[in-house]
Chains A and B, each alone.
Chain A
Amino acid sequence: MSEKLTGIGVSPGVIAGPVARMAGPPALTGRSVLNVPEALSAVALQLRGRAAGEAEEILEAQIMMVEDPQLLEDAERLTAEGLDPARALDRAFSAHEKALLELGGYFAERAADVEDLRHRAVAAALGRPMPGLPEPGHPYILVADDLSPADTATLDSAVLAIVTRRGGPTSHTAILARARGIPAVVACPDAGLLADGDLVAVDGSLGSVRRGVTEREIDDIRDAFLATRARLRDGRGPGRTADGHAVPLMSNIGSAADPVGEEGVGLFRTEFLFLDRRTAPSLEEQEAAYAAVFSRGGKVVVRTLDAGTDKPLPFLGLAEEENPALGIRGLRVDRVLPEVLNTQLDAMVRAAAANPSAEVWVMAPMVTTWQEAAAFAARARARGVTRVGVMIEVPAAALMARELLEHVDFLSIGTNDLSQYTFAADRQHAGLADLLDPWQPALLRLVAACARAGLEMGKPVGVCGEAAGDPRLAPVLVGLGISSLSMSATSVPAVRESLAGVTLGQCRAAAAGVL
């Protein structure tokens, strides 16, 4: 007997195996079996057992928090007043969480780490399994409510696939799963029905989880998965359809350290230079960072700083807003701090001049009107940029694509933000993931409008959102007239294979079918 659960497929691949669930946060019920120091030691011991490799730095800081003398004192004072150890630990950690949250910014980000430790310490005191990755001793399908950054830091090769009840296509879990090539299904409301040891098949493309598979089927599916992965890894060459229509498959990167495929960089995010900074990075520092990417040659589409009140950076010093996603962000930061963009453009031009083997295109994020596009283009060209474009993330810009293209050389559609603004649905909101599905016809109609404008004007229109890396959606985007796709380098092989299996005519028929 087999039974299918559905969610949203966010990382392609079909694999099968036994379920192991992540223990959720413990309920504060019953009496503690360990005292405060014993519970904290148990947590520290568990974390020490995992502190290895890339996760070591993160976990070391966590261990210091568990062994914090002030925390121990606070919790022991509460137990001396008669509180049960689990409740005392809960209250002591909570006070620190609250203090960090009140500080805001990157201090507030640590509050989630403290919350994770609170759950672990409470579970230890109550004698329950600690939340965290299971260790069943064999490869497994990880089933969780959602994954914390600390959980994802410790993911290892035993995890065959990930199924979460919460999360969306652009969530932390989804992005990490794609980067690691682990099939994943998120926003699966019935994930709670899956129990430890259930044999399931997960399809990270279709977003399905099938229960009741047999041992025999598991072997067959696993063999097929490994064969597919090997075949994709061996795949080479430029992106093209079966009848030879070329669609460059480019890479999204966040710094020179990220892997790049054969056909260049379609989105070079420059935020990494600005994170954790009190003052803007200098012209020279920026030039060196851009040159590190340009020196590899090939096409590189650089995006100017995409920050603002939604992704606050200390040095911008922007005031807090009620609705940061609708406020000063992306190119809008230029309204209040024009020097940031000037320096960035100058650094890009200098780095490009020093690396003539690179073909450097520059684009601005969060452009809304043709006037903004025209002003950005004029400014970039005046400073020496040769190919200027803008991102399409706002429906208003998509509807005016033709007018925008009268002023710029290319468009690049950011489907994640375009979804958020078209559907009035926060891209991080787990409960609205269905609205953020890149197959939504309203989103695809906006993509189609941009592509059509590009074809009419003879200018390229690419897609660089997560949708570009979906091997099932890629033929549809190509059928709509999209000229290039940019995605994380690990997604390229599956998209290449998908396009190679269809003709341009089939892509167009598929596109007509979904609109």
Chain B
Amino acid sequence: MPERTVAIASRSGLHARPAKIFVQAAQRLGIPVRISVGAKNVLATSMLGVLSLGATHGTVVTLSSDSDAALDELTAVLARDLDDE
């Protein structure tokens, strides 16, 4: 399955507002995407799952999905500083 790795660009990490923006973006895609940090691997559409990754600014996460387009889109979201939006 195709994968992408990306470092969390948001200053506050994948938490609060940035987590919400990311999960909403994943939900809009309607295509299964998983996000993982180390051994933790969760649905990108799961707010509770994404929070449980504990990803902070600079944490490298891996996205995996059958859809390259979905991966590109979500990688781009994580590479932005979502605290500024």
Instruction: List residues of chain A with CB under 8 Å of any chain B CB.
Output: 57, 60-61, 64-65, 68-71, 96, 99-100, 103, 106-107, 110, 114, 276-278, 314
Q: Give Cα distance in the complex from A276 to B12, angstroms.
A: 5
> A residues within 8 A CB of B45?
69
A–B pairs, 25, beta carbons within 8 Å: A57-B17, A60-B20, A61-B20, A61-B47, A64-B20, A64-B23, A65-B48, A68-B46, A68-B49, A69-B45, A69-B46, A70-B42, A70-B46, A70-B48, A70-B49, A71-B48, A100-B52, A103-B52, A103-B54, A106-B12, A106-B15, A110-B15, A278-B11, A278-B56, A314-B56
Q: How far is the CB of A272 from chain B (nearest CB, A)?
A: 13
Instruction: List residues of chain B with CB under 8 Å of any chain A CB.
Output: 11-13, 15-17, 19-20, 23-24, 42-43, 45-49, 51-52, 54, 56-58, 83
> A residues within 8 A CB of B83?
276
Apart from A61-B16, A70-B43, A278-B56, what are 19 other A-B pairs with CB-CB below 8 Å? A60-B20, A64-B20, A64-B23, A64-B47, A65-B47, A65-B48, A68-B47, A69-B43, A69-B45, A70-B46, A70-B49, A71-B48, A96-B52, A100-B52, A103-B54, A107-B54, A276-B11, A276-B12, A278-B11
> B residues within 8 A CB of A61?
16, 19-20, 47
> A residues within 8 A CB of B58?
278
What DSSP secondary structure best describes chain A's contact surface? helix
> B residues within 8 A CB of A68?
46-49
> B residues within 8 A CB of A71?
46, 48
> A residues within 8 A CB of B20?
60-61, 64
Q: Give Cα distance in the complex from A107 to B53, angstroms.
A: 9
Q: How far is the CB of B62 from chain A (nearest CB, A)?
A: 18
Q: Give Cα distance in the complex from A57 to B20, angstroms.
A: 10
Q: How far is the CB of B77 from chain A (nearest CB, A)?
A: 16
Q: Give Cα distance in the complex from A314 to B42, angstroms.
A: 25
Q: Give Cα distance in the complex from A99 to B46, angstroms.
A: 14
Q: Give Cα distance in the complex from A278 to B7, angstroms.
A: 14
- Scoring B15, B24, B47 by chain A CB atoms within 10 A of each residue's CB, the highest score goes to B47
Q: How far is the CB of B45 from chain A (nearest CB, A)?
A: 5
> A residues within 8 A CB of B23?
64
Q: Give Cα distance in the complex from A114 to B46, angstroms.
A: 13
Q: Give Cα distance in the complex from A96 to B54, angstroms.
A: 12
Q: Which of A107, A278, A314 contacts B51 (CB 8 A)?
A: A107
> B residues within 8 A CB of A314?
56
Residue on B with the closest CB to A64?
A: B47
Q: How far is the CB of A48 from chain B (nearest CB, A)?
A: 15
> B residues within 8 A CB of A110?
15, 51
> B residues within 8 A CB of A107?
15, 51-52, 54
> B residues within 8 A CB of A65?
47-48
- Scoring B13, B51, B54, B58 by chain A CB atoms within 10 A of each residue's CB, the highest score goes to B51
- Scoring A107, A114, A277 by chain B CB atoms within 10 A of each residue's CB, the highest score goes to A107
Residue on A with the closest CB to B58?
A: A278
> A residues within 8 A CB of B15?
106-107, 110
Q: How far is the CB of A280 from chain B (nearest CB, A)?
A: 12
Q: Give Cα distance in the complex from A276 to B11, angstroms.
A: 7
Q: Give Cα distance in the complex from A278 to B16, angstroms.
A: 15
Q: Give Cα distance in the complex from A266 to B50, angstroms.
A: 42
> B residues within 8 A CB of A57?
17
> A residues within 8 A CB of B56?
278, 314
Q: Give Cα distance in the complex from A65 to B20, angstroms.
A: 10
> A residues within 8 A CB of B51?
100, 107, 110
Q: Give Cα distance in the complex from A279 to B24, angstroms.
A: 28
Q: Give Cα distance in the complex from A103 to B48, angstroms.
A: 13
Q: Give Cα distance in the complex from A276 to B19, angstroms.
A: 14
Q: How far is the CB of A54 from chain B (nearest CB, A)?
A: 14
